[in-house]
Amino acid sequence: MAIKTIKDIDVAGKKVFTRVDFNVPRNEQGAVADDTKIRAALPTITYLLEQGAAVILASHLGRPKGKCKEELRLTAVAEKLQELLKVEVLKSNEVVGPETEALAQKLQPGQVLLLENVRFHPGEEKNDPQLAQAYAKLADLFVSDAFGTAHRAHASNVGVADYLPAAAGMLMQKEIENLTQTLHNAKKPVLAIVGGSKTADKIGVIKNFLKLADIILLGGGMANTFLKAKGYQLGISLVEEDQVDNAAQIMREAADLNVELLLPEDVTVASAIEDTASAETVAADAVPADKMALDIGPQTCARYAELIDKAGTVIWNGPLGVFEVDAFAQGTIAIAKAVAASSAFSLIGGGDVVAAVEKAGVAAQISHLSTGGGATLEFWEGKELPGIAVLEDKKEG
């Protein structure tokens, strides 16, 4: 995939409109609770500043749906960025308009300006050409570093590329390279772990993994639907009845392709999704009528860990239990430790699993933690991502 990166262009003395992903968790007081995404953007911002560029940053936060919501302003993000960057971060109180234009016009090389939450503008998610032109008017170049939004065609990550020369930032480049490696140059055997609550959300990625992986390990609520397709009784567990036939079809396809598709052998069950609920481990085909499967059991963990240890590449999306509740996070944490301990190239995508490896204290031992949720899934599904398409084949002839 040929894309132009920031190292392919001369940014000295230029104003660079840079789309970043600062959609970060905040605490009850509105302060940044997890600065992982901000830190991920620092290499690109620092490089641009060191090369003599003036940097105009654009990001969304939450889902304000085209309206200004005070609790979703980027003021706290600007403060955290300034603390991490150790450079003054100017901030506009509007997305575009007279104030933003004046600040951008005065911006000097080595300075940073953060625009207000781009989703406050009703034209952002509609990829409104007028808004895209207003962004372009602020700068000389466009750098895209928000992989997490690459599956969306919005004004600040796609539309603006119609009016400015475009290039990928370092994070975007790293994401594309690592994800491409898992799809096209993966060391064998390739082992995929797929979890999460909904089968419907993962059908596409599982079908693509059937072409890519030698082994697929399933867990989470979605595994219940596959167990139901095998005729198991799951008590009051989450089961998507409308996906049972799809699950059965996937298992048949896996068998036809000689892909080893494994389901939990044992599960942790309880009558309620609460830490105080009395949890027990039972065989996957013996879930009591009044209980639900909420995590993979220790026997399954051991079996999965043994296969992970022999893998050449591990790709993982979705937790293997109700990770938000400590009593049902044990399977996910155990598998995170197994992935970290293996010598395989490992790529993990999805906020819950990234949080799991951080909670397990093994994040540094994972080869690549993807910052994309839906974008990572769609990349794995083989879909063209509009936020990447605008960066392709941009080399000047």
State whether 167 and 225 are in the same domain: no
119: containing domain: 6-171+385-389
State whether 114 and 209 are in the same domain: no
Give the SS3 label for residue 359. Answer: helix
352 within a domain of the structure (yes/no): no
**Packing angle, helices 36-50 and 75-85, rounded to 10:** 60
Rounded to an integer, what distance in angstroms lies between the CA atom of residue 194 and that of residue 205?
Answer: 9
pLDDT score recorded for residue 396: 45
358 within a domain of the structure (yes/no): no
| pLDDT tens per residue, range 376-390 | 888 988 889 999 999
351 within a domain of the structure (yes/no): no
State whether 238 and 297 are in the same domain: yes
pLDDT score recorded for residue 102: 98
Q: Is 275 exposed, middle or buried (0-12, 13-18, 19+ CB in 10 A)?
A: exposed
State whether 126 and 82 are in the same domain: yes
DSSP state of 383: P
pLDDT score recorded for residue 393: 59
- Which CATH number is 239's domain given? 3.40.50.1260
Q: How far is CA 13 from CA 100, 103, 107, 171, 253, in A?
A: 19, 16, 11, 22, 56
State whether 158 and 192 are in the same domain: no
Give the SS3 label for residue 171. Answer: helix
Q: Of 77, 101, 86, 93, give the one whose Cα is nearest residue 17.
A: 101
Q: Which residue has the tokens 């609520």?
A: 221
Q: Of 269, 279, 329, give the one whose Cα is nearest residue 301.
A: 329
Domain count, the chain: 2
State whether 25 and 167 are in the same domain: yes
Rounded to an integer, what distance in angstroms lies between the CA atom of residue 87 and that of residue 110?
Answer: 9
State whether 202 and 262 are in the same domain: yes
Give the SS3 label for residue 30. Answer: coil
379 within a domain of the structure (yes/no): no
357 within a domain of the structure (yes/no): no
State whether 107 and 234 are in the same domain: no
This prediction's pTM: 0.88
Q: Which residue has the tokens 């600065």?
A: 35
**Taking the CA atoms of the chain, what radius of gyration do you get in angstroms?**
23
pLDDT score recorded for residue 397: 38
Tokens of 385: 């991502």
State whether 72 and 115 are in the same domain: yes
State whether 251 and 299 are in the same domain: yes
pLDDT score recorded for residue 372: 85
| pLDDT tens per residue, range 225-248 | 999 999 999 999 999 999 999 999
pLDDT score recorded for residue 1: 60
349 within a domain of the structure (yes/no): no
165 within a domain of the structure (yes/no): yes
Q: Of 356, 287, 283, 370, give the one whose Cα is nearest residue 325.
A: 356
397 within a domain of the structure (yes/no): no
State whether 162 and 226 are in the same domain: no
State whether 67 and 11 are in the same domain: yes
Residues of the chain with pLDDT under 50: 394-397
Pairing of strands 292-296, 266-270: antiparallel
